[in-house]
Amino acid sequence: MATIEAFKNTFIEGSEAQRIGLKLRNIITTYFTNIDETIAGGAKVKLTLYSRNGPSNVLCGIQQAANDTCMLYVHHVPSIDHDRLKFSGKGKHAKRIKFEKATDVLETDIKWLLKQVNENAPY
């Protein structure tokens, strides 16, 4: 598991994206009992990945996006029909949800999504 400081350093300090990321991280790390957290990328683009049974078995990820927003990426979810969680992009390997405010991150919605990931992941 990465340290909280290492995770915070993947965002602009004090940004709304950082607040969103911290909220997502808390939900993810409390939902999954046996999960690894790694930080990938370089100085400009950093992505925090959550995997199980090895680093190549990715379940989801968090990344700062443009305009002080934050992206949540989920793997193993072929399609989603949810009232509040709006997916963007084509999602060939992962679906992504863009959050603009920390108040947009509802724990019940994220836990519902993580349940879908957990049920569909082969590991």
pLDDT for 44: 75
Chain segment 3-27, per-residue pLDDT in tens: 999 999 999 999 999 999 999 999 9
Chain segment 33-87, per-residue pLDDT in tens: 899 999 998 777 899 999 999 999 999 999 999 999 999 999 998 777 788 888 8
pLDDT for 54: 93
pLDDT for 1: 83
Beta carbons of 16 and 102 less than 8 angstroms apart:
yes
Signed CA dihedral, 52, 4, 104, 40: sign only: negative
Give the bridge partners for 96, in sequence order. Answer: 73, 88
**Which residues have C-beta within 8 Å of that of residue 88, sequence separation ≥ 6?**
96, 97, 98
Chain segment 85-113, per-residue pLDDT in tens: 888 767 778 899 999 999 999 999 999 99
